[in-house]
């Protein structure tokens, strides 16, 4: 069995060199190679690497930051020159039309005048709250314009009462329900006393249109006398208002201009009330002033409501009920 050779150290190398009769460095390197010392390098060092240069080890190489790579430069392609056109010209085939207005030979004198007294004023529109806020106007107007009709739910108390009386039923009794299918006629007062509320009148048109549908609203305007309310039709004709068995909503201040109420109202309002009563059309009047300034003697047929941000749908329902009954 082959005996394992131990490790060879530097002392063994010195002892071998002392016991062997070597004559030069080549023999010493040969002996070292036999003993396992690789003293000879595989490749000789290059003189430009500075391996044996002590000065290169004393001064480290300075750090050079890596510069960013510049973006590539894209050269646009060279366009081909346009083709050469022949020198000949073609005559235009378009006929010029004569203008409807005759040409002006001389401009008027007033065109070059400077009017120093005329100044342009940039008006800033101030935001203002609507009398019926956006959060509550749908419920308020729905409660004011709703009409009652026979619904689809069976009225059990009436049915039991008829059975107890042994009545012959031709149809089942049904409970009434509120509906906005009839739309409404909107009468707006554009009299001088309502000038502070003209923006609210225009906003009321949009609010009512969103509740009952813009196509289901007829808008009329009047000045002081509601029976003379009129509107312009699509064909450019002036149409007077007439009752048509649908709710009538009027926005007015009765001409009080914020003052105390008068003892008697205008007779034109009694004519409006009489027309709506005869036709069976519900009449609701919105007034922007407090109740203590409302006119007296209008009777109980028209339902008066305060046109104010403090008005709620519950207030309107307590006065009108679940809806207007119509014949």
- In this prediction, residue 93 carries a pLDDT of 75
- Give the model's pLDDT for residue 231: 92
Q: Nearest Cα to 302, choosing from 288, 314, 319, 326?
A: 319
Domain formed by 137-150+178-320, architecture = 3-Layer(aba) Sandwich (3.40)
pLDDT average, residue stretch 6-32: 74
Residues 303, 291 contacting (CB under 8 angstroms): no
pTM: 0.58
What percentage of residues in the chain have a pLDDT greater than 70?
Answer: 79
> What pLDDT digit, counting tens, does each position of 63-88 carry?
777 778 877 777 777 888 888 877 77
Contact in structure between 277 and 214 (CB atoms under 8 Å): no
Q: What is the pLDDT of residue 257?
A: 78
Domain with CATH 3.40.50 in the chain: 137-150+178-320
Q: Say if residues 275 and 243 touch (Cβ distance below 8 Å).
A: yes
Answer whether residue 255 shows pLDDT above 80. yes
Residue with tokens 């004198």: 109
Phi, psi angles (nearest 5°) of residue 259: -85, -175
pLDDT > 80? residue 307: yes
pLDDT number for residue 150: 80
Which pLDDT does position 292 carry in this prediction? Answer: 85
Q: How far is CA 273 from the centre of its chain?
A: 42
Q: What is the pLDDT of residue 20?
A: 74
Q: What is the pLDDT of residue 324?
A: 81
Closest among 268, 246, 265 to 256, alpha carbons compared: 265
Find all residues with CB under 8 Å of 15, minimum gap 6, and list them. Answer: none
pLDDT tens for residues 138-188?
Answer: 999 999 999 988 877 888 888 888 888 888 888 888 888 888 989 999 999
* Per-residue model confidence (pLDDT) at position 46: 58
* Burial class for 249, CB neighbours closer than 10 Å (0-12, 13-18, 19+): buried
Q: Round the average pLDDT of the chain to a whole number and report it.
A: 80
Cα-Cα-Cα-Cα torsion 255, 302, 284, 219, nearest 10 degrees, comes to -70
| CA proximity to 307, closest of 179, 182, 159, 208 | 208
Per residue in 3-17, pLDDT (tens digit) is 565 676 777 777 777
Average of pLDDT values for 96-105?
A: 64
């Amino acid at each position: 069995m082959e005996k394992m050779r131990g490790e060879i150290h530097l002392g063994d190398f010195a002892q071998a060199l002392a016991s062997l009769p070597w004559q030069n460095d080549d023999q010493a390197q040969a002996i070292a190679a036999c003993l396992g010392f690789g003293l000879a390098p595989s490749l000789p060092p290059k003189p430009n690497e500075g391996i044996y240069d002590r000065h290169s080890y004393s001064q480290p190489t300075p750090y050079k930051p890596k510069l960013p790579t510049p973006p590539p430069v894209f050269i646009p392609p060279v366009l081909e020159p346009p083709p050469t056109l022949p020198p000949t010209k073609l005559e235009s085939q378009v006929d010029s039309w004569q203008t409807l207005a005759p040409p002006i030979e001389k401009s008027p004198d007033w065109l070059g005048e400077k009017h120093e007294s005329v100044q342009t004023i940039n008006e800033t529109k101030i935001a203002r709250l609507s009398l019926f806020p956006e959060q509550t106007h749908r419920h308020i107007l729905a409660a004011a314009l709703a009409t009652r009709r026979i619904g689809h739910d069976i009225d059990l108390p009436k049915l039991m009462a008829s059975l107890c009386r042994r009545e012959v039923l031709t149809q089942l009794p049904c409970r009434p329900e509120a509906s906005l299918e009839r739309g409404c006629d909107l009468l707006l007062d554009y009299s001088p006393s309502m000038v502070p509320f003209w923006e609210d009148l225009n906003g009321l048109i949009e609010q009512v249109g969103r509740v009952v549908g813009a196509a289901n609203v007829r808008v009329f305007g009047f000045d002081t006398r509601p029976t003379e309310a009129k509107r312009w039709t699509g064909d450019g004709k002036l149409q007077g208002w007439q009752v048509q068995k649908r709710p009538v909503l009027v926005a007015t201040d009765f001409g009080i201009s914020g003052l105390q109420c008068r003892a008697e109202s205008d007779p034109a309002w009694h004519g409006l009330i009489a027309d709506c009563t005869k036709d069976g059309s519900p009449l609701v009047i919105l007034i922007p002033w407090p109740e203590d300034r409302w006119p007296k003697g209008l009777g109980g047929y028209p339902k008066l409501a305060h046109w104010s941000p403090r008005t709620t749908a519950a207030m309107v329902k307590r006065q009108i009920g679940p809806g207007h009954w119509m014949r």
